[in-house]
Amino acid sequence: MPVITYREALNQALAEELDRDPNVILMGEEVGQFNGAYKVSEGLLERFGSKRILDTPISEAGFIGLGLGASMLGLRPVMELMFWSFYSVAFDQILNNAANVRYMSGGLIHCPIVIRGPANGGTNVGATHSHTPENICAHHPGVKVVVAATPADAKGLLKSAIRDNDPVMFMENTILYNDKGEVPDGEHLVPIGLADIKRSGTDLTIVAHGRAVLTSLKAAEQLQAEHKISAEVVDLRSIRPLDEETILKSVRKTHRVLLVEENKPFCGVDAQISYLIQEKAFDDLDAPIKRVSAIDAPQIYAPALEREHQLPNPARILKAALEVLR
């Protein structure tokens, strides 16, 4: 299988879907001539033309709303937010319109739109450019929320998202764009709503999503090497719909749970998963659930602190895992 970057995997997914369906268009700030702020859309303007690859003004509420309106009639717009942090500017369109229009119309209308772009902290860009809003989006029935940790998942999930008839919030991670991995050529679909066991284990279940999966995998290797602890790493991939079955199955196998995410802890995704486990697998737990999240503060700029201290790191995961296993 070819080894390509996360960025190239997303680019492949976009190109293949643009090629497959003339209703697919890509829109966003600098996605065309500039090839995307993070070069995810490299070469697409040249290949598909300015009718389908549209450079928008800096105007998130306007163009996200425009894409949504177009999706109501059956186009399949892929909207790039230069940073997911800018969701707040377009949130009326995402929350009041994308999430609600199907319901408020009694099912008469649906919106096959994908809103995608880089999320998360870790690149020293300060609090306004480091949002991780999967919990905020997932709170609202009517939208789906997807987070890819690997190049293969990035491609397969984005292709599925574009074909999905519901609004999909697709969150990438700025730090991961250069990560490499094996990605199948051509048609490769990862179903939305299906978690993936990224590492099989017997002593502890670590549930994570996005880059936290990779951090957790590093910690799991260390747990194995240094403590002979076999950790299973469950990659959620999709926050909503949530693959409860895969999570619970793993919990019933290992009986111990550690939740890891790059978001802030308060009302985070892991709060929901923690509740799910206590509700449906309480008797299977041999120890209280623990969480490792970003430190509960606005994202710090200081390069010396952000990635290694504010966000979950292998050391913090290792420490928490040992506490769960104590």
Catalytic center residues: 60, 129
Strands 168-173 and 144-147: parallel
CA distance 31 to 170: 16
Convert 234-280 into a string of H (helix), E (strand) and C (coil).
EECCEEECCCHHHHHHHHHHHCCEEEECCCCCCCCHHHHHHHHHHHH
Q: Which amino acid is at 10?
A: L
Token pair recorded at residue 44: 């697409």
In the range 30-89, which residues lie near other proteins by CB under 8 A? 51, 54, 56-57, 59, 61-75
Enumerate residues 6+ apart whose C-beta is below 8 A from 140.
Answer: 95, 99
Q: Which is nearer to other proteins, 80 or 179 (CB)?
A: 80
Kindly state the helix (H) or strand (E) to which residue 103 belongs, with its residue range: helix 101-104
* Residue 25 Cβ vs other proteins, minimum distance, rounded to whole Å: 7
Q: Which amino acid is at 271?
A: A
Q: What 3-state class would DSSP assign to 139?
A: coil
Write each residue from 137 to 176 as x if it is in contact with other proteins (CB under 8 A), else as -, in one continuous string: ----xx-x-------------------xxx----------
Q: For other proteins, which residue of 24, 37, 53, 101 counts as binding (CB under 8 A)?
A: 101
* Residue 299 Cβ vs other proteins, minimum distance, rounded to whole Å: 25
* Residue 227 Cβ vs other proteins, minimum distance, rounded to whole Å: 42
Distance of CA 145 to the CA centre of its chain: 7
In the range 263-292, which residues lie near other proteins by CB under 8 A? none
* Residue 70 Cβ vs other proteins, minimum distance, rounded to whole Å: 4
Assess 248 for contact with other proteins (CB under 8 A): no
* Residue 92 Cβ vs other proteins, minimum distance, rounded to whole Å: 5
Assess 127 for contact with other proteins (CB under 8 A): no
Assess 102 for contact with other proteins (CB under 8 A): yes
Q: Which residues make up the interface to other proteins (CB under 8 A)?
A: 23, 25, 51, 54, 56-57, 59, 61-75, 92-93, 96-97, 101-110, 112, 141-142, 144, 164-166
